[in-house]
Structure 1
Amino acid sequence: MMSTTTGSAPKTRIRDLDPSAKRKVRAAWYGMWLDLYDIYLPIVALTPAMMYFEPEGLSVAERLLINNFVFVLTLIGRPLGSIMFGVLADRFGRKRITEISVVGFSACTLLIGALPGYATIGIAALVLLLALRAIGGVFMGGEYTGANPLAMEATPRSMRGLVGGVIQSGYPLAYVSVSALVAVLLLVLPSGGLGDAYTTWGWRIPFIVGGVLGFVFFVHLRRGVEESQVWKESVRSKTKEKSPLRAVFVGESGKALAQTLLLMTGLWFGVQALTAATPTLLMNVLEMDSQQVTVALLIANLILAASYVLLGRLGQRVGRKRLLLWGGVVALVVGTPFYYLMVQSATSLNIVLVTITATVALVAVVGVFGLVPTYLTERFPAEVRSTGYGIGYSLALVIPSGYGYYMNWLSGFMPFEYTPLVLIVLGGVLTVIGATMGPDTRHVRMNDEE
């Protein structure tokens, strides 16, 4: 890790990092992008072709339930993987465990791209799809638990906010990438029918691309990225925790874990309401043109990516706790009315207003996620850092991942298209409480050189 020599000016730009740190930051960004590219595949690439895996005669509600289950299975697998791989990363090294996880979920993605359909092997096609998504989700849980602490431990304290925001920008840019690829495929390939080109084989292309890029990432990790010096020092000094899973639940680490779980649960409710539920709601419930919705959400996610970098840097100046706290308030005060306006604009089929209101709502509710890689890394000591990061990040996702079922239940009391408002409000309240309970972490020392 680069040392910060007394009297030298604080480093504030990515290009100021030493070559080893740059490679680690690049790997963390690429890993985040690849992880979320894979996460979005069922929502974006597979939804237009799900009939390939399903028996005929299903109702719209049954199809939506299956689509949601494919996505949720991945989200459920991630916490299991983050616990398992987080413990292994604290015991055997960040880099090695990241490599294993990348190979695992990339192989699952490639195998999905080769699956036969319902017409060939019957219900086994859907079972195999669900099984591979669940297994892939477990391996995905190991990517960020290793790669993000690896990058943050190599980053000078003065740059952690910026670097964390840059890493997190891979999230919305992954959505942009997979959406753009699928949009092009849908433009050039017939779709909508069981025998159409996209339904039969076109959907496989994004999966094959994701799998191949995963193995490219593995080669980059293997050849170009070094192990964390902070982790190596814990091994040399014999402070490496023999049982990270036990240690993270007790003492100060246990308090940090409880606080981050509450905070992240709030943030994940907002993410599910705005990024997971909104595309399906706009296209299938409010019946907007799918290509127009895709373009609108591409624009919104590009701006969201920029907001992650800006807010990550702002957190370095004003404090991460303060910004997370205000993020929850902004979600309540700005996010909810703009989501309401987005639905109103959609009912009148005004795509310009949908784009504007969706962008404001997305940034207002999800923007402070740009602080997450930095904040979670700083909340835990090196001995349990990957374990704490993985559990705090992914276990908090379990309850919010049932967003589709909560929305269906809430639709008994209010119009379905407005049910995400409840999730946004709940997420904002939990974010405020979680941020209030925790400390500001921007002055935390990662090692003795800071």
Structure 2
Amino acid sequence: MTTSPTLHGAKSAPPVVSGKDAGKIARAAFVGTALEWYDYYLFGTAAALVFNRLFFTELNPTAALLASFATFGVGFAARPIGAVVFGYIGDRYGRRPALLTTIVMIGIATALIGALPDFASIGLAAPILLAVLRLVQGLAVGGEWGGAVTMAVEHAPAEKRGRYAAMVQIGSPVATLLASGAFTLVLLLPSEAFDAWGWRIPFLLAIPMLLVALWIRLKVEESPIFKDLLAQEETVKVPALEVFRHAGGRLVVAVLAALLGVGGFYMITTFVVSYGANTLGVERSVMVNATLVAAVAQIIVTILMGRLAEKVGPGKVTMWGGIATAVLAFPLFAMIDTKSPLMITLAITIGIMLIAVAYAVNGALLTELFPPKLRYSGVALGYNIAGATSGFMPMVATAMLGVSGNASWGAALILAIIALLTAVGGFLGGRMRVRDKQLVADA
């Protein structure tokens, strides 16, 4: 493939990538993403176990839980806005400054949640401030993931993009381990101590974790492909607008492909934890511990699927992951309904492994749907519109429990539909891949 002409008619040298640099960049992206998701997942667990009781105490139990999940969903609604804002920065001024900003925002917002007085202390201001801080989290995450996978992919040799994009995705299960592990430890405290101050500890830990992640990311070099865009003066003024104008079809495919990795994950974790603890009466520790086991399995599946994507393409991996999840959605919830700790752990683990098949290759698939000049914005918008659409699924599934008499078939149906839509996205996305300018691998 030929390179683009410069303003003077000469041809520029192709961007140079290095396997050594690719590994370093992917690891830095992983660390930052792990922190981002740790902060984000803490809220999901707390929404199911804490916020409904401490921040919405004047409501009846069901209404309080719905309000808690609505606050949880606010973060998802904010993510497309974050995608536009940080997509603009990332596609106009560089992937690096956008990623540094997002990580600071979410770390500070999470720590402030840990210091927030509850309803008994400051009344209505407590849930309002909680929603505002969740909004900040959502804005930051809206710009984080798209930039992280874009950096990892654009630093990697073309034939190894699957594994480096998957490395960023490992940040999700690692964050689950950290968040669930932190809550598992504080749940060992007496109930009074947990409600008074124990639940705050995982949130306050965001500050030291932020400092470590920020130190690592400050060492990250800008993407060689973005540097080439600057050299050729090929950046666009309003990248999000250009995505909607000229890549709308690709954006729809990106949204479909990402639905299961976002919405399905929260159905199997946030909703199931709440459903098991509040509806089935299963011990909270059983539900949280099950997510820990599932996270370990997710890491293994993510690594394997990243390599598989390099051989058969991320589109096929996404398609088959979606189909398998749809087929097993109802059996998984039937296993959870047994109330057996073993069956619940097995169901959550299998469910997360199935979702991880598609999620592992989201980065590789979505980055190849958009040309470099629109990539940060396109990837961030696709992933976060999917998040905004499916992030309210735990709330919808909880509402459906009232319709179904606390039966789980409604939640299983939601999961199956999300999975089938993602299968369609994988099928179409595999046929719409964009080839970047020829890269020169520097061993």
| TM-score, with structure 2 as normaliser | 0.90
Give unpaired runs (5+ residues) of structure 2: 1-13
Alignment of 1:362-373 (within 5 A): 362-373=352-363
Helix, strand or coil at the partner of 1:141: helix
Aligned to 1:339: 332
1:252-277 deviation digits (Å, cap 9, x = unpaired): x3321122122223543422322221
Deviation at 1:134, TM superposition (A): 0.9
1:265–1:427 Cα contact (<8 Å) kept:
yes
Aligned to 1:206: 202
Residue 112 of structure 1 aligns with an amino acid whose one-letter code is I
Correspondence 1:284 to 2:281: no
Deviation at 1:3, TM superposition (A): 4.9
Aligned to 2:297: 303
Deviation at 1:443, TM superposition (A): 8.3
1:48–1:199 Cα contact (<8 Å) kept:
no
Aligned to 2:440: 449
Equivalent of 1:243, from 229, 238, 242?
Answer: 238
2:254–2:366 Cα contact (<8 Å) kept:
yes
Aligned to 2:392: 402
Residue 425 of structure 1 aligns with an amino acid whose one-letter code is A
Residue 273 of structure 1 aligns with an amino acid whose one-letter code is M
Aligned to 1:382: 372
- For 1:3 and 1:440, locate their aligned partners in 2 and report how far apart those are by CA, in whole Å: 27
Equivalent of 2:412, from 394, 402, 421?
Answer: 421
1:31–1:144 Cα contact (<8 Å) kept:
no
- For 2:172 and 2:108, locate their aligned partners in 1 and report how far apart those are by CA, in whole Å: 21
Q: Single out whichever of 311-320 and 356-365 deviates more from structure 2.
A: 356-365
Q: 1:110 to 1:56 in 2, by over 3 A?
A: closer
1:342–1:358 Cα contact (<8 Å) kept:
no
1:110–1:208 Cα contact (<8 Å) kept:
yes
1:34–1:174 Cα contact (<8 Å) kept:
yes
- For 2:400 and 2:51, locate their aligned partners in 1 and report how far apart those are by CA, in whole Å: 26
1:390-448 deviation digits (Å, cap 9, x = unpaired): 10100122221221343245442564422211112211221222222223577833544
- For 1:316 and 1:158, locate their aligned partners in 2 and report how far apart those are by CA, in whole Å: 7
Aligned to 1:7: none
2:152–2:168 Cα contact (<8 Å) kept:
no
Deviation at 1:209, TM superposition (A): 0.8
1:320–1:442 Cα contact (<8 Å) kept:
no
Deviation at 1:314, TM superposition (A): 0.8
Q: 1:56 to 1:321 in 2, by over 3 A?
A: closer
Aligned to 2:82: 81
Aligned to 2:255: 261
Q: 1:88 to 1:48 in 2, by over 3 A?
A: same
Deviation at 1:43, TM superposition (A): 2.6
Aligned to 2:190: 190
Residue 319 of structure 1 aligns with an amino acid whose one-letter code is G
- For 2:278 and 2:252, locate their aligned partners in 1 and report how far apart those are by CA, in whole Å: 37
Deviation at 1:2, TM superposition (A): 8.5
- For 2:53 and 2:348, locate their aligned partners in 1 and report how far apart those are by CA, in whole Å: 31
Give unpaired runs (5+ residues) of structure 1: 5-15
Alignment of 1:164-179 (within 5 A): 164-179=165-180
- For 2:56 and 2:355, locate their aligned partners in 1 and report how far apart those are by CA, in whole Å: 38
Residue 114 of structure 1 aligns with an amino acid whose one-letter code is A
Q: 1:415 to 1:205 in 2, by over 3 A?
A: closer
Q: 1:426 to 1:306 in 2, by over 3 A?
A: same
2:314–2:362 Cα contact (<8 Å) kept:
no
1:158-177 deviation digits (Å, cap 9, x = unpaired): 21111122211111221111
- For 1:314 and 1:182, locate their aligned partners in 2 and report how far apart those are by CA, in whole Å: 34
Provide the aligned length of Structure 1 versus Structure 2. 427
Residue 259 of structure 1 aligns with an amino acid whose one-letter code is V
Helix, strand or coil at the partner of 2:435: coil
1:367-398 deviation digits (Å, cap 9, x = unpaired): 21100111111111110110001101001222
Alignment of 1:149-164 (within 5 A): 149-164=150-165
Aligned residues with identical type, % of pairs = 28
Aligned to 1:11: none
Alignment of 1:99-110 (within 5 A): 99-110=100-111
Aligned to 1:226: 221
Correspondence 1:217 to 2:213: yes
Aligned to 1:117: 118
2:370–2:378 Cα contact (<8 Å) kept:
yes
- For 1:174 and 1:84, locate their aligned partners in 2 and report how far apart those are by CA, in whole Å: 25
- For 1:446 and 1:413, locate their aligned partners in 2 and report how far apart those are by CA, in whole Å: 53
Helix, strand or coil at the partner of 2:237: coil
| TM-score, with structure 1 as normaliser | 0.88
Aligned to 1:72: 73
Alignment of 1:5-16 (within 5 A): none
1:268-295 deviation digits (Å, cap 9, x = unpaired): 3422322221111111111111222222
- For 2:147 and 2:225, locate their aligned partners in 1 and report how far apart those are by CA, in whole Å: 13
Q: 1:266 to 1:172 in 2, by over 3 A?
A: closer
Q: Single out whichever of 301-310 and 110-119 deviates more from structure 2.
A: 110-119
- For 2:40 and 2:216, locate their aligned partners in 1 and report how far apart those are by CA, in whole Å: 21
Q: 1:2 to 1:30 in 2, by over 3 A?
A: farther
